[in-house]
Structure 1
Amino acid sequence: MKTRIMKTNFKFLAIVLSLGLFLQSCSSDDDKAVTSDPEVSGFEYGAGSSHSTDQVAYKGSNIHLEAEIYAEATVSSITVSIHAHDLELADGEADWDFEQVFTDSKYLAINPTFHEHIDVPTDIPAGEYHVELLITDEIGNSTEVEGYIQILELITLSNISIDETVVRGEDFHTEFMINAANGIHSITVDAHAHGLTLADGEVEWDYEEEFLEGYHEETEVEFHEHIDVPVTAPAGEYHIIFTIEDENGNTKEYETHIDVTA
């Protein structure tokens, strides 16, 4: 009888121990299921054409973004947001408020490397833009990293100095600095007038010339030319357009006026 009771007690003790080990195992599994937020390292961005990390990009080009992601749980999405605050819009420009969620299979993994190129519109204002990268895993943990990037014009003009008047039969001086990220293809100068009355001996002057020598393929150069005005040109106001075209076909125009005097 005593032996039967002892066997019963041993069976009961074994059941209790097994249940305890099972509960401990479940608790251990629960502990392993608790993960930390994803971590991001090596977050870099810049001009896409050169995979630059200088945090500068150009209108009409693209932004290169890259980051190493450490995640204990599988990543479920990566969101990129780019926007600016209070940039003034010039004629023909529009606000750029970009957001895209990436769920490509190559990113739905543990410890993926994020690498994308984001197109930059041509009709947005140049200036400082806020860049945000949001990583979310399948459990719901998330991490956000952010920074700033300068969006620049592909072609910029500065230090402009152009004569406002010229005596016909002489020349007028033009000078300015050009910065072209893709290199200069050509510079065209167009001068013309509208509705000027021709006197005896005068001939309508409609001038256009393309300048290549000393400028072609340069990324930073001073445009410095003297443009002859025919002695037969009628006096009056002339409209002048300078057009700079880069090697990718992007253009920048600068318009002004000059008075031709007799």
Structure 2
Amino acid sequence: MKTTSMKPNLKFLAIVASAGLFLQSCSSDDDGDVELNAPEISNFEYGEGHHDEGEDHDHQSEEAYAFKGSDLHLAAEISAEATVSSITLSIHSDDVTAEEGEVDWEFEKVFTDAKYLVINPEFHEHIDIPADIPSGEYHIELLATDELGNSTEVEGHLEIMDVITLSDFSIDETVARGEDFHAEFMISAVNGIHGITVDIHAHGLTLAEGEEEWHFESEYTEGYHELTDAEFHKHIDVPATAPAGEYHMVFTVEDEDGNTKEYDTHLTVTE
């Protein structure tokens, strides 16, 4: 009787064990189907300007700026549930036009450095900004992609500025020979002013009796050297012997790093 009664119990235990293995297998399959969230990008900083944590993105983008010929600082924190496979940075503009001596600029680079191919990388790079690109507003995008193909992008706007800016011009267009003319404008130089050169010359003017060719060139440093903001204000004498006609004027500002900015205009000398 004892041996006979154990057979149903063994069969029952076998059934329970099989059911347990089946449920465990189903549970394992379910675990493999769990979807991981896409990476999150926070505290995205670029250029100079005010970047408060938690600041709304539109306000941040209005104040972010960088200078031509300098490097652009970028930083961001990336939270990822799966390992990051790449980080892509792109910069471009649809609102600026290259002028003479300038070239259009677009930047794109995919970063796959080992330090970024982890779960929660911190992005930190410096990008060179060419000195010969148009100034103005540029669009900047940062894209993080994980090894499962999930991706997240953040974007903003960056104002790229000249290291030397000339504005508020007030320069006489005509002057009688033997008199002086007035030239005035504002200068903003990030690296400090090294000097201001004025060049005035003419080509093809015929000399009359008693006239002498006039070519004016002078560099002004006193009162301007190393200033980042200054007002250029001068009165320049025109010799009484200068031939009447049209003259070409070039005002050149050089900063302490050797960058230059020119302003061209014309002056008519009358009798």
The aligned residue for residue 239 of structure 1 is: 248
State the alpha-carbon separation in 2 of the partners of residues 201 and 117 from structure 1.
Answer: 62
Name which of 8, 13, 17 aligns with 1:14.
Answer: 17
Which stretch of the first structure deviates more once superposed, 83-92 or 106-115? 83-92
Secondary structure of the corresponding residue to residue 127 of structure 2: strand
The aligned residue for residue 149 of structure 1 is: 158
The aligned residue for residue 140 of structure 1 is: 149
The aligned residue for residue 213 of structure 1 is: 222
The aligned residue for residue 57 of structure 2 is: none
Q: Which residues in structure 2 correspond to 1:153-172 (within 5 Å)? A: 153-172=162-181
Are the aligned partners of 1:176 and 1:222 in contact in 2 as well (CA < 8 Å)? yes
The aligned residue for residue 57 of structure 1 is: 66
Secondary structure of the corresponding residue to residue 23 of structure 2: helix
Secondary structure of the corresponding residue to residue 106 of structure 1: helix
State the alpha-carbon separation in 2 of the partners of residues 148 and 24 from structure 1.
Answer: 48
Shift of 1:190: 0.6
Question: What are structure 1's unaligned runs of at least 5 residues?
Answer: none
State the alpha-carbon separation in 2 of the partners of residues 255 and 177 from structure 1.
Answer: 15
Are the aligned partners of 1:60 and 1:119 in contact in 2 as well (CA < 8 Å)? yes
Q: Which residues in structure 2 correspond to 1:1-262 (within 5 Å)? A: 1-31=4-34, 34-47=35-48, 54-262=63-271
- Calculate the TM-score normalised by the size of structure 2: 0.87
Secondary structure of the corresponding residue to residue 126 of structure 2: strand
Shift of 1:249: 1.5
State the alpha-carbon separation in 2 of the partners of residues 244 and 91 from structure 1.
Answer: 18
Change (3 A) 1:5 1:51: closer
Which amino acid is the alignment partner of residue 14 of structure 1?
A
Are the aligned partners of 2:95 and 2:137 in contact in 1 as well (CA < 8 Å)? no
Which amino acid is the alignment partner of residue 18 of structure 2?
I
Which stretch of the first structure deviates more once superposed, 209-218 or 50-59? 50-59
Which stretch of the first structure deviates more once superposed, 241-250 or 57-66? 57-66
Secondary structure of the corresponding residue to residue 149 of structure 1: strand
Question: What are structure 2's unaligned runs of at least 5 residues?
Answer: 53-59
State the alpha-carbon separation in 2 of the partners of residues 166 and 207 from structure 1.
Answer: 14
State the alpha-carbon separation in 2 of the partners of residues 106 and 14 from structure 1.
Answer: 47
State the alpha-carbon separation in 2 of the partners of residues 239 and 24 from structure 1.
Answer: 85
State the alpha-carbon separation in 2 of the partners of residues 165 and 187 from structure 1.
Answer: 22
Shift of 1:78: 0.7
- Calculate the TM-score normalised by the size of structure 1: 0.90
Secondary structure of the corresponding residue to residue 47 of structure 2: strand
Secondary structure of the corresponding residue to residue 31 of structure 2: helix
Shift of 1:224: 0.5
Shift of 1:73: 0.9
Secondary structure of the corresponding residue to residue 27 of structure 1: helix
Shift of 1:23: 3.1
Shift of 1:51: 10
Which amino acid is the alignment partner of residue 41 of structure 1?
S
Deviation per residue, 1:202-250 (Å, 9 max, x gap): 3322211111112121222111111122233222221111111122211
Runs (4+) of structure 1 exceeding 4 A deviation are: 50-53
Deviation per residue, 1:124-168 (Å, 9 max, x gap): 322211111111011111101111111222222111011112222
Q: How many residues align?
A: 259
Are the aligned partners of 1:47 and 1:62 in contact in 2 as well (CA < 8 Å)? no
